[in-house]
Each structure stands twice: as C-alpha cells, then as structure tokens.
Structure 1
Amino acid sequence: MALRLCILTRGTTRVLARGLADRHGRGVGKGGGAGGAIREAGGAFGERQAAKEEDYFRKKTRDAVEAYRRQAGRAVGKPLKEKAAEAESFCEKMKRQYDELKAQIQKEIKHYEAELEDHKAILEMHRRHVKEINDEVNKCK
C-alpha cells in the first residue's frame, strides 16, 4: 500500500506516491519501521521477525481473552440446564442416602425390639427367682 498524496495546482491534479512497504519488517524508510538490527535491514528476516512479534502479541491477546472468559464464566455460573441436572443428581443421591439410613435404622429397631423381648423374659425370670427366695425366707420364719 503506497501513501498517495493528491496535490491540486492550477487546475491539474498531481498524485505523488511515496513508496512504502505493505508489511512490517521491510526495512527502515519502507514502512517497516525500526525495531532492531534485523528489522532495519529488511528482507525476509525482517518480515519473519515482524511476523513472530505479531504472533506473540496475538497469542497474548487470545490468552487474555480466554482468561477473561473463564473468569466471567465462573462469575456467571453454569447454564441453567447444567444447574438443574446437578440439582436432580444431588436430590437422587440424597434420596439414596435417606433410603439407606432408613433401612439401617429399621434394622436397628428390629434388633433392639428383639433384645427388649429377651430382656423382658430375663427380667421376668429374675422376678420369679426373687419371689421364690422371698417365699423360702417367709417359710423359715
């Protein structure tokens, strides 16, 4: 791309074109700009150096945008469908845990009811023994 300057003089238009390089790295005075010895020299190495710099800054910009998107994604949260699926999953998990706990408690209740029956039988047996002992003592008096 050349810089064109239009000059109007007494009815005629003259176009002056300044020879500029169309890309960075073509050399000083050719639009490539100064940027170190390699870029000043111009040529393929200057173009390559300029391309590397462009890639570097493009990558930095892309990384910054990705970091911003990740941060914004965390701030906004997950989409509603994902939240609903997680809530359903959590509810199912809690229901399973509740059912397991309920079954365990019912099992313990049956165990303690059986122990209670055994203890009642043992208590009744001890009461009979105490009564028999009292009867024996009363006979001796």
Structure 2
Amino acid sequence: MHIYTLRLGSRSMGGGEAGSGAGKGGGSGGAIRDAGGAFGKKEAANEEQYFRKLQAKQLKDMKDGLEKEVKFHEEQIKAHQEALKRHKERLDKLDD
C-alpha cells in the first residue's frame, strides 16, 4: 500500500509579488529571483508551473493507485464468493 502526500493549494511566497526580488516576496531563491524584474517574475512563474505539474502528476498517480486497489479487492470479493458457493454446495451434499 502506498501513501501519497498531496499538497492542495498554491505555493505562497510571503508578502509582495513573487519574483520581485529578495525581501519583497521573492525570497532568496537564487540570483535571478534576487535581482527581481521580468526575469525574477518569469522564474517565479516557472516554479509555480513546475509545482502545478507535480501536483497533477501526484493526483493522477494516487487515482491510478486507488483504481488498482479497487480492482484487486473486487477480484478478491469474486474469488471469495465463488469459494463460498463451492463450500455451501459441499455442505448440501453432506446433508443428503
């Protein structure tokens, strides 16, 4: 059984606009983001896009895993029902 950690919601950079430079909401996320300006904003947008894609992949993986588990349990139920039927038939034969 796999346990997936899924973060719902967007990343927040604090006060100010993301990518606007160090101490202005961009944090100290590297030289480009520290400089601020258009490149800092582009880097912040790229980071947001990365995390959205990562979250979508995690959600898909979790859904696929759950569908696989459901299928497994449905097969187990079917096998158990068939076993119950066989055992009941054997009991009926013993009663005769």
The one-letter amino acid of 1:44's match is A
> Is 1:72 the counterpart of 2:66 in the alignment?
yes
Q: What root-mean-square deviation, in Å, do the aligned CA atoms of Structure 1 and Structure 2 show?
A: 1.9
Distance 1:70 1:24 in 2: 34
Q: Which has the higher helix share?
A: 1
Listed as ranges, the gaps of 5+ residues in structure 1 are: 1-19, 81-141
The one-letter amino acid of 2:42's match is R
Report the equivalent of 1:138.
Answer: none
**Structure 2 length-normalised TM:** 0.55
Report the equivalent of 2:55.
Answer: 61
The one-letter amino acid of 1:32's match is G
The Cα shift of 1:57 comes to 1.2
Report the equivalent of 2:37.
Answer: 43
Identical-residue share of aligned pairs (%): 47
The Cα shift of 1:74 comes to 1.2
Report the equivalent of 1:113.
Answer: none
The one-letter amino acid of 1:26's match is S
CA radius of gyration, larger in: 1
1:84-130 C-alpha deviation (Å, 9 max, x unpaired): xxxxxxxxxxxxxxxxxxxxxxxxxxxxxxxxxxxxxxxxxxxxxxx
Report the equivalent of 1:52.
Answer: 46
Distance 1:67 1:59 in 2: 12
1:93-132 aligned at under 5 Å gives the runs: none
The Cα shift of 1:32 comes to 1.4
Distance 1:60 1:30 in 2: 26
The Cα shift of 1:48 comes to 0.5
Report the equivalent of 1:28.
Answer: 22
Q: Which has the higher strand share?
A: 1
**Structure 1 length-normalised TM:** 0.39
Distance 1:30 1:53 in 2: 17
SS at match of 2:68: helix
Distance 1:29 1:64 in 2: 31
